[in-house]
Chain A
Amino acid sequence: MKGWMGKFRALGIFGFLMLVLTGCGKENLSALTPKGYGSKAALNLINISLGVMIFVFIVVMVIYAIVIVRFRKKKGREDYIPPQTEGNKALEVIWTVIPIILLVIIAIPTVAITFDLADESAADESLNVNVTGNQFWWHFNYEGQEIQTSQDLYIPTGEKVYLNMKTSDVLHSFWVPALSGKMDLHPENENTMYIQADEEGVYDGKCAEFCGTSHSLMDFKVIAVSPEEFDQWVEDMQNVDPEAQPETADAQEGQQLFQDNSCIGCHAIGASPAATGPNLTNFGDRTTLAGVNEHTKDNIVDWIMDPESMKPGNKMADANYDVSREEAEKIADYLLQLQPSDITPESAETNE
């Protein structure tokens, strides 16, 4: 049996080493590399509770080890019958009271942080974004700003941004681990949470409530830029001319095709609040296609030709349009030049 155990132990150590090597996960995704108010508060609470719990685990394991080593049945004493102890009142009190004290140590910061993260007193004077979850994409409507975007949420760093969230279909959950914990989106009531990024960056967001076939492909980005850059982005977005003519001939044809095939019926360009499909105002600046694919022209063409193969169960698969591959390429040309602002995900990544 010893040989077996040795092998398993080696496997365990191997696993642990791999974990150390991979570190704390990907920057701007992992909750273990917090870059925002909510995620830092959560990590503090995680560390407090983890510390207490490691202490408890060690106490249990020490007693456990002693028991297993000391009280194994011994050779020559097979018939030994140990005293039939009924219990011990003092011990019972000790292992009731000490855990209660340990739990109070965790409970106090838990309540404090839980209330802090639900604080809505600053909501009125802050930036408010109405978030809508859809199978399988996200829509962001900047309240009072005449700005609509999908998939990419631009926010200024260093301030609380309030998200008023609701779903248009089934439940979703808005989660940007590096910035904040998650909150569910319901069809009947609006849920409000705030996020605050302390550093500029492009943060990975994910849907965390099971929402159907492409639940795992419902990623989005939060792009945190400096307040000045954000102001400029707001200005640029507000001044978008949805009908602006593209420069190249292909893109112009693409624009025509976009209208002829009623793409515009679902995909708004500009500040129109209609959002049957993702808003494409700043599509050219996206970092990903449909949340998870590389943002290349080829992929966009593939998407237009067969969206179902890239994101099963999405509604565009049922849409009524008929374009050839060449036409799709022109549409892609048109969409890729939709870059209304100089503030792009790159601004968030380069500026320090």
Chain B
Amino acid sequence: MSTAVAQKKGFGAFIWDYLTTVDHKKIAHLYLVAGGLFFLVGGLEALMIRIQLIKPDNDFVSAGFYNELLTMHGTTMIFLAAMPLIFAILNAVVPLQIGARDVAFPFLNSLGFWLFLFGGLILNCGWFLGGAPDAGWTAYAPLSAVSPGHGVDFYVLGLQISGAGTLIGGINFLVTIINMRAPGMTYMRMPLFTWTALVTSTLILFAFPALTVGLFLLMFDRLFGAGFFNASMGGNSVIWEHLFWIFGHPEVYILILPAFGVFSDVLSTFSKKRLFGYTAMVFATTLIGFLGFMVWAHHMFATGLGPAANSIFAIATMAIAVPTGIKIFNWLFTLWGGTITINSAMLWALGFIPSFTIGGTTGVMLAAAAADYQYHDTYFVVAHFHYVIVGGVVFGLFAAMHYWWPKMFGKILNETLGQITFWTFFAGFHLTFFIQHFLGLMGMPRRYWTFLPGQHLDTGNLVSSIGAFFMAFGAIVFVINVIYTSVKAPKVSGDPWDGRTLEWSIPSPPPHYNFKQTPLVRGLDPLWIEKMEGRKGITPAEPLDDIHMPNPSILPFIMSLGLFIAGFGFIYQVDNLSYLWLVILGMGITLGCMLTRSVKDDLGHHIHKEDLEEEGAEQ
């Protein structure tokens, strides 16, 4: 059942293997491929936006199509690219870092992926079925409630389904990290990436339900004639803003915290030093997660909540700068006194520090409510959140991919191509977004399809558009790198970076069962401790014995397919009630699968001790 065996089978068997897999490492591959493809789609949308804005009065795309582009760019990048890519890294790394053989709920892990994928497909079906969502990724009511056509319906149903997948994924990692740590791995010995995964999962658990509720209200408004956001029926449009941002602000931290974790691990490994101020870093992480729920209304300073509310949320927002600052300084002092190796993974981490510092400082500027009346909904905000999301999350994902690629696939990504990607993307990123701070203050609101000549906005937009092409070039080189590496690069050992944490103590890519014997953890950076004491690997915590593993299942795929079908039924029953049959069919499939899962005993299988001994005695 190991990956090597699976690859020798035919193509059909290979596909079937991935459709049914509950192995966290293969689910990581699925997330990586799907998230990567959606990232390219979102990038293409971004390029079209920048081409449209390359000069004033441009008509490269129509106003209506531009609105679809900007909506789908935001929605795709957040929900269909950043989230799944984060989940790819979480899946690939967290169980290995805590010394577990899989996640707590392998079946749910698979279900979470397929729900995300089918939700993402529904969202993008709008392009081919009469128009994509066009009310902005924030989908403010009443515009989203009254937007004609089915565009926003695809947004509502697509996000509802993929959101359920994310919620399931979050709960799964929460339980995994709490329950499945190897003996000796106390909370304060967990690698920082695992810590951020734990906090992020907690945030998902509390933040996503707010989005679920908001989407249900919007769904009822659009599809069943309710009036939650319709003022003339006694509804209130501000409720959507609150619900969306009670989810939306923690979402930013859901994305950025794992990136922080990546940088902590990468900076520590490549400066050959223990993470400086580990305890402070852990507390800063949890504090950011906690405060992340207290600041949502800073997205609503212009909503008219009044000076008292605005001031409270302004100060709460500024407070987040303190733990974030603690992190920046601890990273710098992790490097201080170290012996720094600079390679692609490290370049992304080093590029992150100044970029994210700019994003963080403009964040504090935005927190000043009265000044935000000027920044709000302008290109200043666009610049700010791209500095945070690209300069933080995307840089983090690139760092993570370069760092853990050998662990996931047994090969190191090509260094030259990696550096070309970094330098073009990094330069393009600053070229694109730095100038947008000024564009915003010079009077360019965001989500503008076009701008007039003679407003001194031409040069800034041109520079910004040129930068976007550099970023696109960098991203394409990365894709080439992935292909080149998988074809040409040689296999590497299990520990190519002289790593510090448990995942580097096992072969690359890891066997199906990860750890032949559960490791015994004796401190922070367990592998480093063993190496410093002259041992080759980790001391096992148990004798070699049979390993119990979960069985693969096609049910998660079919279950998600059922919801996919039902989603179309919900959308089109507005036009013709006979589409309700699709709802019944789809829900029937899903509920049928749930019933099957409940009544059928699936006890998993065992990998026998004798087979393990045959596979090699070292470890």
* A19-B376 contact, Cβ under 8 Å, with A25-B456, A210-B143, A213-B63: no
Q: Is the CB of B443 within 8 A of A84?
A: no
Determine whether B539 belongs to the interface, using a CB cutoff of 8 Å to chain A. no
Q: How far is the CA of A292 from the CA of B278 in the complex (A)?
A: 56
Q: Is the CB of A107 within 8 A of B318?
A: yes
* Dominant secondary structure at the B interface: helix
In chain A between 191 and 236, which residues have their CB closer than 8 angstroms to a CB of chain B?
191-192, 204, 206-217, 219
Q: Is the CB of A170 within 8 A of B370?
A: no
How many A-B residue pairs lie within 8 Å, measured between CB atoms?
319
Q: Is the CB of A188 within 8 A of B237?
A: yes
Q: How far is the CA of A191 from the CA of B329 in the complex (A)?
A: 42
Interface core residue of B238, B319, B340, B368 (most chain A CB under 10 Å): B368
Q: Is the CB of B278 within 8 A of A87?
A: yes
Q: Chain A: which residue is nearest B140 at the CB level?
A: A171
Q: Please give the number of chain B residues whose Cβ is less than 8 angstroms from any Cβ of chain A in the complex.
A: 102
Task: Out of A26, A114, A212, name the residue touching B311 (CB < 8 Å).
Answer: A114
Determine whether B67 belongs to the interface, using a CB cutoff of 8 Å to chain A. yes
Task: Out of A19, A84, A189, A210, name the residue touching B438 (CB < 8 Å).
Answer: A19
Task: Out of B140, B335, B371, name the residue touching A45 (CB < 8 Å).
Answer: B371
- A68 cross-chain contacts in B, Cβ below 8 A: 335, 340, 350
Convert A65-92 into 0s and 1s, putting 1 for each residue whose CB lies closer than 8 angstroms to a CB of B.
Answer: 0111001111001001111111110011
Q: How far is the CA of A170 from the CA of B237 in the complex (A)?
A: 9
Q: Is the CB of A25 within 8 A of B236?
A: no
Q: Please give the number of chain A residues whose Cβ is less than 8 angstroms from any Cβ of chain B in the complex.
A: 107
Q: How far is the CA of A61 from the CA of B277 in the complex (A)?
A: 20
Q: Chain A: which residue is nearest B368 at the CB level?
A: A110
- B310 cross-chain contacts in A, Cβ below 8 A: 114, 118
- A74 cross-chain contacts in B, Cβ below 8 A: 339
Q: Is the CB of B272 within 8 A of A81?
A: yes
Determine whether B460 belongs to the interface, using a CB cutoff of 8 Å to chain A. yes
- Residues on B close to A: CB < 8 A? 62-64, 67, 135-136, 138, 140, 142-143, 146-147, 231-232, 235-238, 271-274, 276-280, 302-304, 306-307, 310-311, 314-315, 318-319, 321-322, 325-326, 328-330, 332-333, 335-342, 350, 353-354, 357-358, 361-362, 364-365, 367-374, 376-378, 419-420, 423, 427, 430-431, 434-435, 438, 441-443, 445-452, 454-457, 459-460, 463
- Residues on A close to B: CB < 8 A? 1, 4-5, 8, 11-12, 15, 18-19, 21-26, 29-32, 38-39, 41-43, 45-46, 49-50, 52-54, 56-57, 60-61, 63-64, 66-68, 71-74, 77, 80-88, 91-92, 95-96, 99-100, 103, 106-107, 109-111, 113-118, 169-171, 173, 175, 177-178, 180-184, 186-189, 191-192, 204, 206-217, 219, 292, 312-313
| 29 intermolecular pairs with C-beta atoms under 8 Å apart | A19-B459, A25-B442, A25-B457, A29-B442, A42-B371, A46-B365, A49-B365, A68-B335, A73-B339, A74-B339, A82-B272, A82-B273, A82-B337, A87-B277, A92-B326, A96-B326, A99-B322, A110-B311, A110-B315, A118-B306, A177-B441, A186-B231, A186-B303, A186-B304, A187-B231, A187-B232, A209-B302, A210-B143, A216-B63
